[in-house]
């Protein structure tokens, strides 16, 4: 029997059992099934299976054709519904062909088979299943409900909200220091034991500040944590509150925290946190200063223990923060430029899918001191593109060394103090400078990671 038939029968069985068992809820459905049935803020019973829903849930192009010869399936030609005519026969058929791991990844079927298959547990299957609060469809439904007024929709320009399934960085893609690993481990434990921490009165926890140069992985680590924990990722660039089209800035700051609390559990990531200190000490408009004061008060009022919101601030300029900013955080996590060993590990991650003759990451790490993970990704990108211009998809160690030299040359040019006229002559003459020479890689904070 084809794997296509097995996939479609699993979907039919899951839909049937879920419809019949009212004790099951949305968090029992695998996300790939849940999204096709989620409408108007809920999953309504009965779950109706058609070719369209089965195709969306399983990826099988012609679902009915895959199961049409089975004795326990039928299709209503008028409505297009696919049904199980003999559910018990379907359960036995599926049990004879599905492996334990497949069943364990579906809480609905884990409940059905846990007494028959060793190693299958409904409770552990449900615990491992991604909660509905992490689904894009759930997030969009909540946002639609919150921002029915068109005037309020401008607030969404202040935030970037991503479901875990949309995050392209995992913790496995990031090279972390031991300190960073320890802090992440503590956060994970705090999230797992929120009820216990509340019982003992330990509420001031779960507000982290990531500090370090641009490109050292602050954003990547926060996103990787969101992916690891199946949490929505709400990113705010604080400099955006100065944008005139955002209207009442203080109100929008409050709305940002309201969104995070409604999406909870989630991660609220506040980039460019040094903006707070610069605004408090500068000559900015009073409305902006009020917005920053509102921000600081909102930080005080949000809690991982009470609100299920993990707050992470990030700054490239910790020297610009004042005491009022520092004391908002219970943990400070340093993101330094990578040392030799970290650079070698970053190169191994970046090149996982590349074909490189006699690749020696240690040797490349020797000649890239001072480069961040973001810089190393740019180096590898240039090496790949240079090879492609020669119609090659296999790189050599020499390609990588040449790309490092080119990167350093561009970096030096970028930092030169040009006198009037020099810049124009350099561009006009070509000078071997690529179009990327003016790219400020310092603004790329996806360090220590490899985007898929």
Per-residue model confidence as pLDDT tens digits over 260-275: 998 999 999 999 888 7
Domains belonging to the chain, first-starting first, are 3-129 (no CATH), 136-334 (3.40.50.300), 340-443 (1.10.8.60)
Please compute, for residue 136, the number of CA atoms within 13 A of its CA located in the half-sphere on the CB side. 10
Residue 96 pLDDT class (50, 70, 90 cuts)? very high
- Write the pLDDT tens digit of every residue in 232-291: 999 987 777 655 444 566 777 888 898 899 899 999 999 988 877 666 655 556 777 777
Mean pLDDT of 386-415: 90
pLDDT of residue 119: 94
The per-residue pLDDT of the chain, averaged, comes to 86
pLDDT of residue 272: 86
Residue 24 burial (10 A CB sphere; 0-12, 13-18, 19+): buried
pLDDT, one tens digit per residue, over 297-313 is 999 999 999 899 999 99
Q: Hey, how many other C-beta atoms are within 10 angstroms of the C-beta on 248?
A: 14
pLDDT band with cut points at 50, 70 and 90 for residue 333:
very high
pLDDT recorded at residue 153: 67
Catalogue the long-range contacts made by 253-257 (C-beta closer than 8 Å, 24 or more residues apart).
253/291, 253/294, 253/295, 253/298, 254/294, 254/298, 255/152, 255/155, 255/158, 256/155, 256/158, 256/159, 256/298, 257/298, 257/301, 257/302, 257/309
Query: Helix, strand or coil for residue 359?
Result: coil
Compute the average pLDDT of residues 5-10: 97
Its pTM stands at 0.80
User: Is the bond preceding 450 in cis, omega lying within 30 degrees of 0?
Assistant: no
More confident: 394 or 433: 394
Mean pLDDT of the region 322-344: 92
Write out pLDDT tens, residues 374-393: 999 999 999 999 999 999 99
Residue 421 has pLDDT above 50, yes or no: no
Q: What is the reported pLDDT for 425? A: 34
């Amino acid at each position: 029997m084809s794997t296509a038939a097995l996939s479609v029968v699993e979907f039919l069985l899951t839909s049937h059992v879920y419809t019949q068992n009212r004790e099951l809820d949305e968090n029992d459905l695998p996300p790939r099934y849940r999204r096709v049935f989620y409408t108007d803020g809920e999953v309504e019973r009965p779950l109706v299976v058609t070719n369209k829903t089965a195709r969306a849930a399983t990826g099988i192009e012609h679902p009915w054709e895959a199961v049409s010869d089975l004795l326990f399936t039928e299709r209503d030609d008028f409505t297009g519904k696919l049904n199980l005519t003999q559910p018990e026969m379907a359960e036995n058929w599926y049990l004879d062909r599905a492996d334990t791991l497949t069943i364990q990844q579906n809480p609905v079927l884990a409940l059905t088979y846990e007494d028959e298959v060793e190693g299958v547990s409904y409770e552990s299957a449900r615990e491992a299943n991604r909660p509905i609060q992490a689904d894009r469809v759930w997030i969009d439904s909540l946002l639609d409900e919150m921002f029915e007024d068109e005037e309020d929709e401008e607030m969404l320009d202040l935030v970037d909200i991503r479901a875990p399934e949309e995050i392209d960085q995992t913790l496995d893609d990031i090279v972390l220091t031991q300190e960073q690993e320890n802090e992440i481990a503590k956060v994970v434990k705090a999230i797992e034991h929120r009820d216990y921490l509340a019982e003992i009165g330990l509420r001031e926890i779960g507000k982290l500040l990531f500090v370090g140069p641009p490109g050292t992985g602050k954003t990547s680590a926060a996103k990787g944590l969101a992916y690891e924990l199946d949490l929505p990722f709400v990113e705010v660039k604080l400099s955006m509150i100065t944008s005139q089209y955002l209207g009442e800035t203080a109100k929008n700051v409050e709305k940002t925290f309201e969104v995070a609390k409604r999406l909870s559990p989630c991660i609220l990531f506040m980039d460019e946190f040094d903006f707070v200190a610069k605004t408090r000490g500068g000559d900015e408009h009073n409305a902006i200063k009020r917005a920053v004061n509102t921000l600081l008060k909102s930080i005080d009022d949000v809690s991982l223990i009470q609100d299920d919101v993990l707050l992470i601030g990030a700054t490239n300029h910790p020297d610009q923060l004042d005491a009022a900013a520092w004391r908002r955080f219970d943990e400070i996590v340093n993101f330094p430029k990578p040392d030799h060993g970290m650079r070698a590990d970053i190169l191994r991650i970046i090149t996982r899918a590349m074909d490189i003759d006699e690749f020696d990451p240690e040797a490349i790490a020797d000649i890239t001191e001072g480069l961040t993970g973001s810089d190393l990704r740019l180096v590898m990108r240039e090496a790949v593109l240079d090879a492609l211009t020669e119609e090659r998809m296999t790189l050599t160690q020499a390609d990588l060394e040449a790309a490092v030299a080119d990167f350093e040359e561009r970096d030096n040019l970028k930092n030169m103090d040009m006198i009037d006229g020099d810049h124009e002559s350099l561009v006009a003459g070509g000078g071997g400078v690529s179009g990327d020479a003016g790219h400020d890689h310092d603004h790329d904070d996806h360090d220590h990671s490899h985007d898929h």
